Amino acid sequence: MPKIVLTDVTKRWGNFYAVDHLDLVIDDCSFVTLLGPSGCGKTTTLRMIAGLETPTSGRIEIGDQVVFDSEKGINIPANKRHVGFLFQNYALWPNMTVYQNIAFGLKNQKKYTKKEIDDIVHRVAKVVKIEMFMDRYPSELSGGQQQRVAIARTLAPEPSVIFMDEPLSNLDAKLRLEMRSELQRLHLTTDKTFVYVTHDQMEAMTLATKICLIENGVLQQYAAPLEVYGKPNNIFVADFVGSPSINFVDAVGEQLSPGNVSLSILPDIPATFRFKDQIDLAEWRKTEKQKAEDKETRRLELAKDSKNVEKGNKDSVFNYPIAKVDDDGAVRGDPTEKDFVLGIRPEVLEVCEEGGIEAEVYSAMPTGMETTLRLRIGNFLLTSVVFGGVTFELGSKVHVKFKGNGVMLFSRISGELIGTGSLEV
C-alpha cells in the first residue's frame, strides 16, 4: 500500500488561494482526516490527490509514482491513480440490486471474469455486512444499509487508497456514530490508506490516526488527535477542536525566571504560569520575531517575481472569543511582548470548596454523565466540566483552580503556542 506525498501544492483561482503551499505526507495504512471550517480547502485537496482537480503548482506522489508535477508537466488521469471515492452524495443506481450496484464498476473494467466478479462482490459485501441483502433494491434498504452498499462499491475495485468526502453527513446522529465505528473497523480489516474529509471535529478526532487541520488553505497542524487537542499549534487550532470549547483568557505579564511567567488575569488577579518543559520566554520571543521577519523577507522577494500572484484571501491571527456576561465593548489593542492568551480546557478548570478564585455558578447543564458549568468571575464567564452526577445551585459560590499541566500559554502577537504548563493563583 502506498504512501502519499504532497510537496508545495498550491491551487488558486485568480488571486484566491484555495490551497496554499501545502506539504503533507500521508503514511501507508493511516487514517487521515482533513478537517477545517467550510471553504478552507479540504475537498480541493482531496480532489487534487485523486486527479479530479489540477493543482496550480507542486508535486504529488502516490506510492512510487509521481502522479502530478507542475514543473515536469506530469499529470496522470484519475482513473490511472488506483484510488477509490466515496462522496457525500453517493447515489446508488435505483434500478439495480445491491449485487448489481457493487458489481457495476467491476464489469466496466472488463479485466475480471464473471466468477472473479462474483467472488469480489461477496467478499466486500461481507466486509460491510450486507451480504444478506444482495437481491434488494436501494429503496428497500435503510439509510445506513445504503451507505454500506456505497462503501462496498468503493471497495470492490480494490483501490489502494480510499477517499471519503463527508460520507456520513446524510445520516442521522445515531447512525453516524454507528457507521463511524464501522469505518474504523473497516480500516483495520482492509489495511488500506483512508483519507477522510469532514468539518465535524468530533468525527475527525474519533476516527483519525492523524488530523490535518486546514484554515484558509494553510495547514495549521498535522498530528495525532490527542496532540492536536492537548498541544494545539495556535489559538485557531485550540478553538476549533474540543467540545465544549476551550476557554480563552487574556493575560498580561512577564518572565520572572526561565520557565516561570508572572501574569495578571481576569483582569487583575495575580497568577504564575510554570512551563511543563523548560522554556525560556526571552529566547522564544526572539524566534517568533525572526520567523515574522523571514516571512516578510519571503513576501518581498516573491513580490519581485512577475509570475507571482499575491494571495487575495489574506491570512490573519485568529480573533479568539472571550466569553463575558455583558459585552463591555472592550477592543483589543495591538499586542506587545507582554500580552498573552491562556487556553484552558473545560476539564482543566477544577471546582473546589476553597482556595483558588471565587466564582458564581451562572448556569449548570447536567447530562447525567457530566455537568457543564458556566462560572462567572467578575464580568468573565468560564466553562468547566464536572464528571459524575453532581447538582449545582444557580447563583451559588464555588472556587476554581487550574488542574495539572495542561494550561496553554499562547503569544498574542502570532497566536502561536509558547508551551503548556500549570497555572497557580
Ligand X SMILES: Nc1ncnc2c1ncn2[C@@H]1O[C@H](COP(=O)(O)OP(=O)(O)OP(=O)(O)O)[C@@H](O)[C@H]1O
Of 53 and 350, CB closest to ligand X: 53
18 binding partner (options ligand X, Mg ion, none; Cβ < 5 to 8 Å by kind) = ligand X
39 binding partner (options ligand X, Mg ion, none; Cβ < 5 to 8 Å by kind) = ligand X
Q: Judged by CB under 6 A, which of 1, 8, 13, 129 binds ligand X? A: 13
In the complex, minimum distance from the CB of residue 95 to Mg ion, in angstroms, rounded to a whole number: 29
110 alpha-carbon distance from chain centroid: 40
Of 43 and 255, CB closest to ligand X: 43
Of 33 and 44, CB closest to ligand X: 44
- Count of chain residues binding ligand X (CB under 6 A): 12
In the complex, minimum distance from the CB of residue 38 to ligand X, in angstroms, rounded to a whole number: 3
**19-58 residues near ligand X, rule: CB under 6 A:** 36, 38-44
87 binds ligand X (CB under 6 A): no
Q: Kindly write out the interface string for residues 174-203 of this chain, putting x where it contacts ligand X by CB under 6 A and - elsewhere.
A: -------------------------x----
Q: Judged by CB under 5 A, which of 43, 198, 371, 420 binds Mg ion? A: 43
Of 43 and 97, CB closest to Mg ion: 43
Q: What are the backbone angles phi and psi of residue 282, rounded to the nearest 5°?
A: -60, -45
Of 4 and 106, CB closest to ligand X: 4
In the complex, minimum distance from the CB of residue 323 to Mg ion, in angstroms, rounded to a whole number: 30
Of 44 and 145, CB closest to ligand X: 44
From 42-50, 99-107, 186-194, 372-380, span contacting Mg ion (CB under 5 A): 42-50
Give Cβ neighbours of residue 319 (< 8 Å, ≥ 6 apart). Answer: none
In the complex, minimum distance from the CB of residue 50 to ligand X, in angstroms, rounded to a whole number: 13
In the complex, minimum distance from the CB of residue 170 to Mg ion, in angstroms, rounded to a whole number: 14
In the complex, minimum distance from the CB of residue 43 to ligand X, in angstroms, rounded to a whole number: 3
CA separation (Å) from 333 to 224, 247, 264, 336, 415? 35, 20, 17, 9, 14
- Count of chain residues binding Mg ion (CB under 5 A): 1
- For ligand X, the binding residues (CB under 6 A) are 13, 16, 18, 36, 38-44, 199
- For Mg ion, the binding residues (CB under 5 A) are 43
